[in-house]
Structure 1
Amino acid sequence: MLFVNDQYYTLDDLERQYSVFENIPYLRNCQNRRLAVCMPDAFQWLALCLFVRKKGGSIVPIHPSVPKDGAIRMANLAGSHVLLFENIYSPIHLSDQINPREGVLVQMSSGTTGAPKCIERTWDSIETELESYVSVLPVEQHTTSIVACPVTHSYGLICGVFACIRRGAEPVILTNMNPKYVLKKLKDHPKHILYGSPALLHTLTSLNRGDKRFDAVMTSGTLMPSGWLEALKKVSNRVLQQYGCSEAGCVAIHPDVNDTCEMGNPLPHLKVEAGSMEQPGEIIIHDSEKTIYTKDLGYIKNGVLSFLARMDDTINVAGLNVYPQEVEDVLMAEPRILEAVVYKKVHPLSGERVCAQYISSQPIEEQELREWCRDYLAPYQVPMEFIQVEKIEKLPNGKISRKRLGEGVLA
């Protein structure tokens, strides 16, 4: 049925887990209950998720690295009745109030602000997404999905695990994220599609030696720098990219990406609106239940959706828009720069300004960076401030909050 690292689990193992759950009253009668789950055993978590889904209950996945007090806080925020922390035998009772809307998957989304937000999706809407996703995913039916990202998030859970099972293939779920171990698992399963973050894929690319090639690679979550994509394509048979949001799941898939901004064609069950290349606009998603305003800026050309930036991250310099990714790509093309992030600071009189933090292999004079940028960017795109750091601050979900980086007033 599936692997977790090197351990193989069969359908019989799943049925045995179901029997255990049936003997626990609060799990057996979970139809009108909302269960928050924070446990390190990935197979037990997935079995529980499938069981609760089958029963019509609701589940709130919490990453197993979250400490107990943090898990309780998140579970309460999501309106959970019970928190299962580390195991199923010592439930933490939280509430007896019956929620009007159950039979949902609850995702905790922080976006770029860091403020937690609960997103509820019905199991029926997830079924629709899965059917649509599998119908357009350009891989052979029995291709192994190697899921090297959290299965408590919709990217790993729905697109990585559930979609693979729906195709009739056996997913490989990795909780051991040592890059050398991930490379070994790719070698063990040569016909694969690897689900990972841009940072992990870049690390794997850097460690890849000789003529070994990745089969298919899926990236998502944040835009991959152009230099990273170029290097990844050299060692991969195909690089795919998907775009989505917590409210809708996967929205679009690009089958063979060459431009990091191109997210591909929207899935068949969705209608997507955006601006034009000349005048980008907010990406708006329509499904059968609702309209979702993403606060992402993009455009559609020849049916292909492109994403430029979060609307809040776009920098308005004297009426001209600066998209952080464009500036980051230029900075990271400088051979000594290993990672860069571009964000805005606000001057009380003159408005928004472009700023950058970067990690480099050796010191770089600010004037050198400024001249490098001037060779490739318009004057209004060149950062006013360059800060060399040892580490770029990230949120717990691995994303960068440009808002946090830019807090404060530019002197």
Structure 2
Amino acid sequence: MFYIDDRYYTIDDLEAQFEKYETISYLRDCQDYRLAVCLPDQFQWLSLCFYIRKKGGSVFPIHPSTPKEGAIRMASNVASHYLLYESIETAIELSAHKSDGNGVLIQMSSGTTGEPKCIERTWDSVEEEITAYTRTLPIDHLTTSIIACPITHSYGLISGVMASLERGAEPVIITNMNPKYLLKKLREQPNHILYASPTLLHTLDRLKDEKQHFNYVMTSGTIMPSKWFISLKKSSRLVLQQYGCSEAGCVTIQGQLEDVRELGYPLPHLKVKAGNETNPEEIIIETSEKIIYTKDVGYIKEGKVLFVSRIDDMINVAGLNVYPQEVEDVILNDPRIEEVVVYKKQNKLSGERVCAQFVSTDPVEGNELRDWCSKFLAPFQIPMEFTRVTEIEKLPNGKISRRKIGGVLV
């Protein structure tokens, strides 16, 4: 049925777990409860998720690295009745009131532009996404999904695991994130599609030997720097990109990525609106249940959605918009720069200022980078402040919060 690292689990293993869950009252009657789940055993988490989905219950997955007090706080914030922490046998009761609604998959937004918020999706909407996704993704049942991202989030859980099972393939779920181990698994499954974050894809691309090539790779979550993409494209048979949000799951797929801004074509069950190339606007998604305002700016060209920036990431310099991705791509083209993030700082007198943090192989002075940028950017786009760091801070999901980095008033 599927692998988790090197262990194979069959349908018999899954049914044995279902039988076990039937002996535990709060699981057997899960249609009456909202269950928060934070389990280190990823087979137990997956089998429990499938069981709750089958029974029509509600589940809130929490990343297994979350400390107990943090998991209790998160579970309470989404009105969970029970928290299953580390073991299904020792549930923590948080509320005695039974649920009176339909079963849902509960997710938290990424929190890149503010406090994460609770998102609820019906199992019917998840089924609708899986059907549309498998029909749109240009691969067959012979291609193995290798999922090197958390399966407590919709990217790994729905696009990775559930969609793979839907098309009759046996997914390989990776919990051992050692790059050497992951490269070995990719060699063992040459006909693969790899689901991972841009940062992990870049790391694998740098560490692989010259003879190893990737088959299909899927990137999502944040736009990959152009420099990383050019290198990855040379190493891969095909680079794909998908775009989505917690409220709708996967929204678009780009089947053959040529420009990192290409988010791709909308899945058939969704309607997507945005601006045009000369006047980008907020990307708006319409599902069968609701309208979603994404806070992403983009445009549609010949049916394809292209990304420009997050609304909250755009920097207004004296009335002129600066898009961080454009500035980052220029800085990354300096061969000494390994990673960069461009963000804004608020200044009491002059308003928003363009700033940058970077990781480099050798010491680099701010004046050197300023001179480099002046060859490609307008003066208002050039960062006023460059800071060299050993590592750029990231959220637990691997994304960068420009808002958090730039949250200093100067």
- TM-score norm. by structure 2 comes to 0.99
Q: Which residue of 1 aligns with 2:42?
A: 42
8 Å contact kept, 1:142–1:167: no
Change (3 A) 1:313 1:77: same
Question: How far has the Cα of 1:142 moved from its partner?
Answer: 2.4
- Hey, what's the Cα distance between the residues in 2 that align with 1:192 and 1:64? 26
Moved more, 90-99 or 253-262: 90-99
User: In angstroms, what is the RMSD of aligned CA positions?
Assistant: 0.9
Q: Secondary structure at the match of 1:253?
A: strand
Matches within 5 A, 1:305-324: 305-324=305-324
Amino acid at match of 2:95: S
Structure 2 CA distance, aligned partners of 1:223 and 1:100? 40
Deviation at 1:309, TM superposition (A): 1.4
Which sections of structure 2, spanning at least 5 residues, go unmatched?
Answer: none
3-state SS of 1:200 partner? helix
Decide whether the 8 Å contact of 1:33 with 1:102 is kept in 2.
Answer: no
Mapped to 1, the partners of 2:178 and 2:374 lie a distance apart of: 39
Deviation at 1:319, TM superposition (A): 1.7
Residue correspondences, number: 410
Q: How far does residue 113 in structure 1 lie from its aligned partner after superposition?
A: 3.3
Give the Cα–Cα distance (whole angstroms) in 1 for the partners of residues 101 and 339 of structure 2.
43
**How far, CA to CA, are the matches of 1:317 and 1:242 in structure 2?**
31
> d(CA) in 1 for partners of 2:45 and 2:121?
18
Distance 1:319 1:121 in 2: 39
Task: Please say if residues 347 and 409 of structure 1, whose CA atoms lie closer than 8 Å, have aligned partners that are also in contact.
Answer: yes
Aligned residue number for residue 250 of structure 2 = 250
Distance 1:250 1:124 in 2: 15
Task: Name the counterpart of 2:358.
Answer: 358
2:197 aligns with 197
Unaligned runs of 5+ in 1: none
SS at match of 1:305: strand
Q: For residue 54 of structure 1, what is the aligned residue in structure 2?
A: 54
The CA deviation string for residues 326-356 of structure 1, in whole angstroms up to 9 with x for no partner, is 1111111111111100001122222111110
| Contact 2:31/2:55, CA 8 A, preserved across alignment | yes
Aligned to 1:176: 176
Matched, 1:140 2:140: yes
Paired amino acid for 2:278: E
Q: What whole-Å deviation, never above 9, does each CA across 1:107-154 have from its counterpart, x for those lacking one?
A: 012331351311000000000000000001011222110000000000
TM-score between both structures, scaled by the size of structure 1: 0.98
Q: Which amino acid aligns with 1:57?
A: G
Percent identity for Structure 1 against Structure 2 = 63
Question: What corresponds to 2:94 in structure 1?
Answer: 94
Distance 1:304 1:116 in 2: 29
Distance 1:21 1:365 in 2: 60
Give the superposition deviation at 1:173.
0.2
CA distance in 1, matches of 2:370, 2:127: 50
Contact map agreement 2:37 2:45 (CA 8 A) in 1: yes
For residues 265-306 of structure 1, the C-alpha deviation after alignment (integer angstroms, 9 at most, x for no partner) is 010000000011111100000010100001111111111101
What is the CA distance between 1:395 and its match in structure 2? 1.6
- Aligned to 1:31, the other structure's residue is in SS state helix
Equivalents in 2 of 1:174, 1:314: separation in Å? Answer: 35
Bigger Cα displacement from structure 2, 53-62 vs 340-349: 340-349
- Deviation of the 1:398 alpha carbon: 1.7
Separation in 1, partners of 2:115, 2:167: 36
Paired residue secondary structure (1:275):
coil
**Matched AA of 1:172:** V
Cα distance in structure 1, aligned partners of 2:258 and 2:209:
23
1:406 paired residue number = 406
Letter in 2 for 1:277: E
Match in the other structure for 2:211: 211
Q: Is the 8 A contact 1:34 1:102 kept in 2?
A: no
**Contact map agreement 2:113 2:312 (CA 8 A) in 1:** no
